[in-house]
């Protein structure tokens, strides 16, 4: 019995491992308003960043400045061909399909990464708050290979061999420039190398009827759902009411694109387009006003004709997100029946007579029979292509998003909720219908999305010749003080040919919110260029967050707009605040604890990180502290410069040695005149150390 049970468990383990083998690496592109993580496997599967269920709706964040703006539930890429002579199976498959996503990931025998390198024009700035790493880029913008010849600010280079014998090279470009920071530009090169396994073995053969089939499962957005504010039905979180629309010349459109939006859901009260925040604490804020989409910019006509095939993609079929073909257990590259269904029913389905949006119409998207429990994904298929041995196909596309501004999402939603008339439509006309008013404003995001499509297309067709954003300072520090918070930055950006000046922005109590400009210097201001700013308007008891932007001189962009560096280079995520006020007299300086009992240091401050700490309280704003032994040997010098009344000492000498028992003399000398203290004033205090 035990042997049989062991065999059963072993079989189940092998089965699970054969379905999904997680050995992937992930990297973020997180330096602008649109942010996403990417997988070395070549596509971003469901629950793929950390392989934790909590990450089901994870990524494609826009606007990334604000919390829970994720819209990506899952992505998939299948490559299929006909009459494939499979060297592993030792047979010819009528239909061969290899998969990464929407749920499957096997990097040992299906999509096998070869290179995953993150390039940048420059390293992210060194941002510190009170001496510790203080920016998001410290944790997301990692392992950057710097090359000043890069056409965009960041580029992810990904090479993946597949068991189909096709090697995929994926380049993902991202601009931080303010008019181009809401799209990722993809360049895919699919080459018939014949490499079919992790050992690099090659099977040379021509490939017939090759189709590259992408799947997008959007979910707009986490903010209103189960991972955000919890005011929407839970199934809306992973996109059961997502509506997919297709733009294609087949339907009379000029774009070859698809987009998604948060559609009507029977579980909401009233019209939920844009997901207005209703309920006890509701403000009407539109929690899901974003419109994510994908546009085709170029698709080769053939392996020997590199002109753009304006009929591609030839497939834009909607897919039930929980259909059997989307399950990892179904996506078996050696199951003939399953691969035949994937290829014939979905990958080669062509353009449907009705788009998913047409099917939904004015109804609730979650009630459409096609939706089931998981909603609908959008398929995008390129091909079929004939690819001879050694030849390739190039596809260029962009993922983008359009949306109302955060401020408009608040004002339009509040007006809708509180029924404040008149209802002025985006075109200036007036309506008496509050739902018509709200929905019209939400759908202006489609116009914004099309602008992003146009800019991505221009970027590619003009060989990335777009206006560059100025560089940020390469150093930015924020220091808490007693009566001010001090910001300092390097002058590195001032060597930029079109340098204009700086702007400083501040938020209160959280970093993922709207910031207010509090200072500007340089061109167009009354302030000369400087590299230090003291925020004397901070109030005790509040946390403050900052970022600094470099501005140019207005001559770079043809529009004459003043270009700025991305706020994400320097936005702080660690708080700064006002510390204890400076003292009123040198006699009032206190040394705590005194005596300092080494054997009791575990309980003197109650924090392991400060157990060796000795504090000086009631200090002048700026002074020098010198610590001597009883016989007059100087063992430590501390420069107190943060304008507070506090300074700490880790009870070690300048040589790093822990102090021993005895009597120490501490000398305090004022180094800057204030209304209370005069430069040069000094006092001696005694410190007793007990072991």
1 has a pLDDT exceeding 90: no
Q: What is the pLDDT of residue 611?
A: 65
Mean pLDDT, range 365-373, rounded to an integer: 80
What whole-number distance in Å separates Cα of residue 603 and Cα of residue 597? 10
Residue 451 binned pLDDT confidence (cut-offs 50, 70, 90): very high
What whole-number distance in Å separates Cα of residue 608 and Cα of residue 397? 52
Cα-based angle 210, 212, 217 (whole degrees, multiple of 5): 155
Contact indicator for 578, 478 with CB cutoff of 8 Å: no
Q: What is the pLDDT of residue 481?
A: 86
230 has a pLDDT exceeding 60: yes
**264 to 245, 275, 364, 365, 368: CA distances (angstroms):** 14, 9, 5, 6, 11
215 has a pLDDT exceeding 70: yes
187 has a pLDDT exceeding 60: yes
Q: What is the pLDDT of residue 130?
A: 93
**Percentage of the residues of the chain whose pLDDT score is greater than 90:** 85
Half-sphere exposure of 463 (CA within 13 A, CB side): 0
Reported as a single tens digit per residue, the pLDDT across 59-95 is 999 999 999 999 999 999 999 999 999 999 999 999 9
Residue 643 binned pLDDT confidence (cut-offs 50, 70, 90): confident
609 has a pLDDT exceeding 80: no
Half-sphere exposure of 144 (CA within 13 A, CB side): 23
What whole-number distance in Å separates Cα of residue 301 and Cα of residue 513? 46
Superfamily in which the 475-569 domain is placed by CATH? Immunoglobulins (2.60.40.10)
15 has a pLDDT exceeding 70: no
The SS3 assignment for 681 reads coil
Q: What is the pLDDT of residue 607?
A: 45
Q: Write the CB contacts of 200 (distance below 8 Å, at least 6 apart in sequence).
A: 161
Q: What is the pLDDT of residue 55?
A: 84
Which residues make beta-bridge pairs with 259? 245, 293
More confident site: 457 or 16: 457
Q: Write the CB contacts of 65 (distance below 8 Å, at least 6 apart in sequence).
A: 33, 406, 512, 513, 514, 567, 568, 571
Which residues make beta-bridge pairs with 188? 170, 395
Answer whether 475-569 and 586-690 agree in fold. yes
Q: What are phi and psi of 257, to 5 degrees?
A: -155, 170
Task: Fold for 586-690, please state it.
Answer: Immunoglobulin-like (2.60.40)
What whole-number distance in Å separates Cα of residue 14 and Cα of residue 198? 19
Reported as a single tens digit per residue, the pLDDT across 259-305 is 999 999 998 889 999 999 998 889 999 999 999 999 999 999 999 99
Residue 602 binned pLDDT confidence (cut-offs 50, 70, 90): low
What whole-number distance in Å separates Cα of residue 640 and Cα of residue 277? 49
Q: What is the pLDDT of residue 603?
A: 59
**Backbone region of residue 643 per phi and psi (left: phi > 0; alpha: psi in -120 to 50; beta: other values):** left
Tell me the angle at which helices 434-442 and 406-418 cross, rounded to the nearest 10 degrees.
Answer: 170
7 has a pLDDT exceeding 60: no
- Helices and strands (H and E) in the chain: how many: 9, 35
19 has a pLDDT exceeding 90: no
Which residues make beta-bridge pairs with 475? 126
Q: How many CB atoms lie within 10 A of CB 24?
A: 22
Q: What is the pLDDT of residue 56?
A: 85
Q: Write the CB contacts of 219 (distance below 8 Å, at least 6 apart in sequence).
A: 57, 70, 71, 72, 73, 225, 237, 238, 239, 242, 375
Q: What is the pLDDT of residue 20?
A: 47
Is the pTM value of this prediction over 0.85?
yes
Q: What are phi and psi of 100, to 5 degrees?
A: -140, 115
Q: What is the pLDDT of residue 598?
A: 75
Give the start-to-end residue ranges of the domains of the chain.
22-122+144-449, 475-569, 586-690
Reported as a single tens digit per residue, the pLDDT across 530-581 is 999 999 999 888 999 999 999 999 999 999 999 999 999 999 999 999 888 8
Q: What is the pLDDT of residue 597?
A: 87
3 has a pLDDT exceeding 60: no
What whole-number distance in Å separates Cα of residue 273 and Cα of residue 401? 17
Which residues make beta-bridge pairs with 80? 97, 211
Q: What is the pLDDT of residue 606?
A: 46
**550 to 127, 290, 562: CA distances (angstroms):** 15, 28, 10
Residue 97 binned pLDDT confidence (cut-offs 50, 70, 90): very high
14 has a pLDDT exceeding 70: no
Q: What is the pLDDT of residue 610?
A: 53
Q: Write the CB contacts of 297 (distance below 8 Å, at least 6 apart in sequence).
A: 185, 396, 397, 398, 456, 457, 460, 461
Q: What is the pLDDT of residue 483?
A: 85
What whole-number distance in Å separates Cα of residue 258 and Cα of residue 357? 11
Reported as a single tens digit per residue, the pLDDT across 472-516 is 999 999 999 888 999 999 999 999 999 999 999 999 999 999 999
What is the spatial order of strands in the sheet that 485-489 belongs to?
132-133, 126-129, 475-479, 485-489, 532-535
Contact indicator for 506, 545 with CB cutoff of 8 Å: yes
What whole-number distance in Å separates Cα of residue 222 and Cα of residue 69? 6
Pick the closest to residue 331 from 11, 110, 48, 162 (CA basis): 110
Q: Write the CB contacts of 255 (distance below 8 Å, at least 6 apart in sequence).
A: 247, 248, 295, 450, 453
429 has a pLDDT exceeding 50: yes
Q: Write the CB contacts of 111 (distance below 8 Å, at least 6 apart in sequence).
A: 41, 42, 43, 98, 99, 100, 105, 160, 161, 162, 168
Task: Round to the nearest angstrom and report the end-to-end CA distance of the chain.
Answer: 65
Residue 327, both tokens: 């399950």
Which residues make beta-bridge pairs with 61? 35
The SS3 assignment for 342 reads helix
666 has a pLDDT exceeding 90: yes
Mean confidence (pLDDT) of the chain: 92
């Amino acid at each position: 019995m035990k042997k049989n049970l062991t065999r059963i468990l072993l079989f189940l383990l092998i089965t699970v491992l054969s379905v999904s083998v997680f050995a992937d690496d992930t990297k973020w592109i997180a330096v602008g308003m649109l942010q996403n993580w990417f997988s070395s496997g070549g596509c971003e599967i469901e629950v793929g960043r950390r392989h934790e269920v909590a990450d089901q709706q994870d990524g494609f964040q826009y606007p990334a400045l604000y919390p829970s703006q994720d819209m990506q539930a899952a992505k998939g890429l299948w490559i299929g061909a006909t009459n494939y002579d499979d060297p592993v199976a030792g047979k010819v498959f009528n239909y061969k399909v290899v998969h990464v996503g929407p749920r499957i990931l096997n990097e040992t025998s299906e999509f096998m990464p070869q290179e995953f390198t993150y390039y940048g024009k420059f390293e992210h700035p060194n941002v510190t708050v009170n001496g510790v790493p203080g920016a998001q880029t410290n944790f997301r913008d990692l392992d950057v290979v710097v090359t000043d010849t890069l056409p965009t600010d960041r580029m992810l280079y990904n090479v993946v061999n597949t068991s189909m014998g096709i090697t995929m090279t994926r380049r993902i470009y991202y601009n931080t420039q303010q008019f181009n920071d809401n799209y990722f530009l993809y360049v895919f090169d699919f080459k018939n190398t014949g490499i079919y396994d992790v050992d690099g073995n090659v099977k040379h053969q021509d490939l017939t009827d090759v189709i590259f089939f992408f799947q997008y499962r959007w979910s707009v957005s986490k903010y209103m759902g189960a991972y955000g504010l919890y005011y929407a039905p839970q199934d809306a979180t992973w996109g059961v009411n997502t509506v997919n629309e297709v733009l294609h010349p087949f339907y009379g459109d000029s774009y070859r694109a698809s987009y998604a939006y948060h559609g009507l859901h029977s579980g909401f009260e009233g019209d939920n387009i844009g997901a207005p925040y209703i309920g006890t604490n509701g403000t009407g804020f539109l929690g899901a006003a974003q419109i994510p989409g994908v546009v085709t910019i170029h698709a080769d006509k053939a392996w020997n004709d590199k002109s753009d095939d304006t009929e591609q993609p030839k497939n834009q079929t909607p897919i039930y997100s929980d259909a059997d073909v989307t399950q990892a257990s179904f996506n078996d590259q050696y199951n003939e029946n399953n691969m035949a269904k994937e290829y014939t029913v979905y990958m080669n389905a062509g353009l449907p007579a009705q788009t998913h949006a047409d099917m939904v119409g004015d109804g609730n998207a979650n009630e459409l029979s096609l939706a089931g429990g998981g909603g609908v994904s959008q398929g995008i298929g390129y091909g079929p292509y004939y690819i001879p041995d050694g030849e390739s196909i190039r596809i260029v596309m962009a993922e983008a998003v359009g949306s109302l501004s955060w401020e408009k999402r608040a004002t339009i939603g509040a007006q809708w909720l509180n029924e404040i008339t008149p209802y002025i439509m985006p075109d200036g006309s007036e309506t008496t219908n509050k739902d018509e008013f709200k929905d019209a404003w939400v759908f202006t995001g489609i116009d914004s999305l099309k602008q992003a499509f146009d800019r991505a297309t221009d970027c590619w067709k003009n060989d990335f010749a777009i206006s560059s954003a100025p560089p940020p300072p390469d150093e930015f520090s924020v220091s808490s003080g007693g009566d001010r918070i001090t910001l300092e930055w390097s002058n590195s950006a001032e060597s930029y040919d079109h340098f204009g000046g700086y702007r400083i922005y501040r938020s209160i109590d959280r970093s993922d919110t709207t910031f207010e400009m509090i200072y500007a210097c340089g061109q167009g201001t009354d302030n000369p260029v400087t590299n230090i700013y003291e925020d004397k308007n901070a109030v005790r008891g509040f946390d403050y967050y900052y970022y600094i932007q470099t501005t140019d001189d207005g001559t770079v962009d043809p529009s004459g707009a003043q270009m700025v560096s991305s706020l994400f280079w320097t936005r702080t995520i660690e708080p700064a605040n006002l510390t204890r006020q400076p003292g009123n007299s040198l006699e009032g300086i206190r040394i705590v604890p005194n005596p300092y009992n080494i054997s009791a240091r575990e309980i003197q401050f109650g924090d392991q990180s400060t157990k060796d700490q000795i504090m000086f309280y009631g200090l002048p704003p700026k002074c020098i502290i010198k610590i001597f032994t009883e016989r007059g040997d100087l063992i430590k010098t501390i420069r107190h410069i943060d304008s507070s009344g506090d300074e700490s000492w880790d009870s070690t000498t300048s040589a790093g040695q822990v102090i021993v028992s005895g009597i120490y003399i501490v000398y305090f000398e004022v180094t800057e005149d204030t209304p209370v203290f005069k430069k040069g004033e000094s006092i001696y205090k005694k410190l007793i150390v007990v072991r």
